[in-house]
Amino acid sequence: MMGFKRYLAKRAITMFGVLMATLLVTVALVGSNMDAILNQSVALDVRTQVTNNKQLLASFKTPEELDNYTQNQIKQRILALGLDQPWYSPPRLGLAMYKILTLDFGHAKFLTSDTGSSDVKDIILEKLPRTILLFTTATVIISILGIFIGAIAANKVNSKIDKITSAFAVISSSFPVWWIGLLMIFLFAFIYPIFPARATPTVPVTDPGYLVSLLYHMALPLITLVLIGFGSWSYLVRNFLIGILQEDFIMAKRAVGIDEKKIMYRHALKNAAPPIVTVLALGLSGSLGGAIITEAVFDWPGMGRLYFEAISVLDLPVIIGATYVLTAFFLASIFLADILYGYFDPRVRRQ
């Protein structure tokens, strides 16, 4: 068991390193922009303060005097905020990373949450549950379907069902999810108008019918995710199972005369569980990574679309906040895969 703990600790450190590296890259890439924007907003703040203060305004005799005063004020403010140093100076970088780690993302420049708050934390807390709802539901459905179909295909290798499963897996995984999304919108919002083309609910958040509306709007993206995902997933399950069905202990059970179904669902599936669960958790992280495009296609109001919107208007605090949260979830699911793998497969623990 000590080995497993050490393994987990090592993985956790790596994950933390990844999180830090991702954030550093993000801050480094948007940092110079951020400086320019911050300086501009400081200058704007000071100017409005001076012009709003009538008394102060009256005390200046010449326009040069006023100009000097405001310039001085701006300089002082910049000094006070530490903006005189570039973003890559250690104190500022340290402060920025510390703030991000403590989930203090500041206020968004343009974007707001549905309730009107511009606090990045509020915006993210509002969008995050929707992304989790969509992608975990899809993953659960995909895994159930996949295990079931994979077991059937593995039971009858080279049968028609098996061949269809394999072909479907290869073909479905070569189409981009978002393109299938476009086709689904064309089919189910234009030709047969069953579902709405845009997945953003039309009723306000405060309305009691909001959840129902949200679920109805979720149908099309959910169907698409499942459709594109379960093929390759059942193919994977099939391959794992075929490998295990050739092992000696299964042969022995067969020889004893245990019923085929029981062998498949009791013994084979149990032994295929570690790779299956691991790949499942990795699949979740993969689809989370693709959330940006998937949500953009369907206009699903989650983290992915928030990220995309933030990028298109260059709302830096939101970009940094969303990168942090997306990365954290991405890593959490990879880490989960590690733990599960170690839990199911004693060989890892003993290493």
Partner 1 sequence: MSFSPKEIWHEFSRNDIGLIGIGIILALLGLSIIAFVSIPVETFKEWNDPANWLSYPKSALPAWVNYFLPQKIPEHLVLLPQVSIQKTDRVMAVTNLFAVDYQYDSFPSDFIYQYSTKYSASPLIQMSVTRPDGLELELMSTSLPSSDTQTKFSGMIFSTDDFMKKNLKSDSDHFLFPFDTLSSENIVFSKLDENKILKGHYVFKVTFYDVDGNLSLDESKFILGGKVYGIMGTDELRRDLAVGLLWGTPLALFIGISVAVGSVILGLVYGVYAGYKGKTTDEAMMRFNDIIYAMPVLPLLIILAVTIGNSIFLIVGFLVIFGWVGIAKVSRSMALQIKTLQYVEASKLMGQKDWKIIFKHILPQLLPYTFASIAISVPGAITTEAGLSFLGLGDPTFPTWGQILHDASSYGAAARGLWWWIVPPGIMIAITGLAFVFMGHAMDTIVNPKLRR
Binding site for partner 1 (CB under 8 A): 14-15, 17-18, 21-22, 25-26, 29-30, 33, 170-171, 174-176, 178-180, 182-183, 185-186, 189-191, 197-198, 288-290, 292-293, 296-297, 307-308, 311-312, 314, 319, 322-323, 326-327, 330-331, 334
Nearer to partner 1, 300 or 307 (CB): 307
Q: How far apart are CA 210 and CA 204, in angstroms?
A: 7
Classified as helix, coil or strand, 119 is strand
Query: What are the phi and psi torsion angles at 152 (to 5°)?
Result: -60, -45
Give me the least distance between CB of 255 and partner 1, in Å please. Answer: 23
Nearest approach, Cβ of residue 291 and partner 1 (Å) = 9
Instruction: Encode burial over 325-339: b for 16+ CB neighbours within 10 A, e otherwise.
Output: bbbebbbbbbbbbbb
Range 343-350 contact pairs with CB under 8 angstroms and sequence separation of 24 or more: 344/273, 344/274, 344/277, 345/274, 348/4, 348/7, 349/1, 349/3, 349/4, 349/7, 350/3, 350/4
Instruction: Provide, rounded to whole angstroms, the least separation between the CB of residue 44 and partner 1.
Output: 23
Nearer to partner 1, 17 or 94 (CB): 17
Nearer to partner 1, 81 or 183 (CB): 183
Least distance from C-beta 52 to partner 1, angstroms?
35
Burial of 158 (0-12, 13-18, 19+ CB in 10 A): exposed
Cβ closer to partner 1: 66 or 309?
309
In angstroms, how far is CA 143 from the centroid of its own chain? Answer: 19
271/327 with CB nearer partner 1? 327
Nearer to partner 1, 219 or 296 (CB): 296
* Least distance from partner 1 to the Cβ atom of residue 96, Å: 15
The minimum distance between CB 133 and partner 1, in angstroms, equals: 20
- Find the shortest distance in angstroms from Cβ 108 to partner 1: 17
Q: Which one, 147 or 294, has the nearer CB to partner 1?
A: 294
CA distance 206 to 224: 28
